Amino acid sequence: MTSALRIALQKSGRLSEDSYQLFKECGIRFDYGTGKLRSVSSNFPAEFLFLRDDDIPGYVEDGVADLGIVGENVAVETGRSVNTIHKLGFSKCRLSIAIPRGTEWSGIQDLTGKSIATSYPTLLGNYLKGAGVNADIHEISGSVEIAPGIGLAEAVCDIVSSGSTLLSNGLQEVETIFRSEAILIANPELDADKQTLVDKLLFRIKAVQAAKN
């Protein structure tokens, strides 16, 4: 007997609703939002795990889950060995550098010797390295935007969608370093039976996307 695909989704956050909706549109039924951490589909050989998004790449790399949906930003930041098998087109956002409003800005080299608060030290570090800029990266896990206001850092590097959070914290966006959307990731060593199920799922996802375009 073929074992079911295990699919890791964000429990509750900016990826959740669209992730659940995607499977619904693919005709795959499962319960969510009941507080349970797992749910078995009633009409497709799949079991869903509801997790924090940051943990999903690790679970997929380790094979605890076969597939997962995460933001590309998180997939790249965690540096886990997983395959990106499809871009999903939702939860679009960008990772940008912002500085206190009114500060002069002539380019990324202005950050030389400055301190930057971020939850994305790897992505930021790679970007600065590529630009040949030496700066001090302060990793903090949340509420990054308040760092300049409380004297913790001179700039921030954070996720932006509309920019209203930056604005309300007196910051201005000066440089985009990464553009992200939700992606479907897979364990690189799926067996043939699971790969067949993944192909079946991908076929449905592509049909749903094609119908929308």
Applying CB under 5 A, which residues contact Zn ion?
53-54
Please report the sign of the dihedral spanned by the C-alpha atoms of residue 169, residue 172, residue 173, residue 174. Answer: negative
| Range 89-118, binding ligand ATP (CB under 6 A) | 91-93
| Residue 45 per-residue DSSP state | S
Residue nearest to ligand ATP (CB): 71
Closest CA to 160 of 147, 148, 171, 149: 171
Number of helices (H), then strands (E), in the chain? 6, 11
Q: How far is the CB of 92 from Zn ion (least distance, A)?
A: 17
Beta-bridged to residue 118, according to DSSP, are 139, 157
CB-CB neighbours of 142 under 10 Å? 8
Is 185 among the residues that bind ligand ATP (CB under 6 A)?
A: no
Q: How far is the CB of 159 from Zn ion (least distance, A)?
A: 10
Is 81 among the residues that bind ligand ATP (CB under 6 A)?
A: no
Q: How far is the CB of 10 from Zn ion (least distance, A)?
A: 8
Q: How far is the CB of 49 from Zn ion (least distance, A)?
A: 15
Interface with ligand ATP by CB under 6 A: which residues? 10, 13-15, 52-54, 71, 73-74, 91-93, 159, 161, 180
